[in-house]
Amino acid sequence: MGRHRGNWVLPGAVALGVALIATACSSSSSTSTTTTTAPSSSTTAASTPTASSPGVTATAINVGAISTRTGAIASDFDGLSPGIQAYFDLINSQGGINGRKLLLSYNLDDGGQPSQFTQLTHTLIDQDHAFAVMVASYWFTPNYFVETNTPTYGYNVSGNWAGPPNLFAAGGSVQNYSAGVPAYAYVLNQTHSKSVAIISYGPSITSSYDACNTTATELAKAGFTVSYEDFGAQLGGSYTSAVQRMQEAGSQFVISCMQESDNITMARAIQQYGLKIHQLWLSGYDQSLLNQYSGLMQGVYFNVSGNVPYQAVGGRFGNTYTGMIQYLATMNKYEPAFTYNGVAQQGWQSAVLLADAIKLAGNDLTQANIIKVTNNITNFTAGGLTTVTSWKVSHSGTTYPTCSAYVVVHGTRFVPVFGKGKQVFVCVGPDASDTTPVPAPAGTPGT
Q: 426, 186 in Cβ contact below 8 A?
A: yes
What is the architecture, at CATH level 2, of domain 177-305+399-447?
3-Layer(aba) Sandwich (3.40)
Q: What is the DSSP letter of 100?
A: B
| Beta-carbon count within 10 A of 212 CB | 25
> If we measure between CA atoms, which residue out of 137, 146, 127, 15 comes closest to residue 65?
137
Domain with CATH 3.40.50.2300 in the chain: 31-171+327-374, 177-305+399-447
Cβ neighbours, 10 Å, residue 149: 14
pLDDT of residue 335: 98
Element (H, E) at 106: strand 101-109
Q: Provide the 8-state DSSP code for 126.
A: I
Give φ, ψ of 371 to 5 degrees. Answer: -65, -40
Q: Which amino acid is at 286?
A: D
The CATH superfamily assigned to 31-171+327-374 is Response regulator (3.40.50.2300)
| Model pLDDT, residue 305 | 87
Contacts 24+ apart (CB under 8 A), 352-356: 352/87, 352/382, 352/383, 352/385, 353/153, 353/168, 353/170, 353/377, 353/380, 353/382, 354/63, 354/102, 354/132, 354/151, 354/153, 355/87, 355/91, 355/97, 355/102, 356/380
The whole-number pLDDT of residue 159 equals 87
Write down the pLDDT at residue 49. Answer: 55
Residues of the chain with pLDDT under 50: 1-17, 19-34, 36-47
Predicted local confidence at residue 45, as pLDDT = 32
User: To which H or E segment does residue 233 belong?
Assistant: strand 225-233
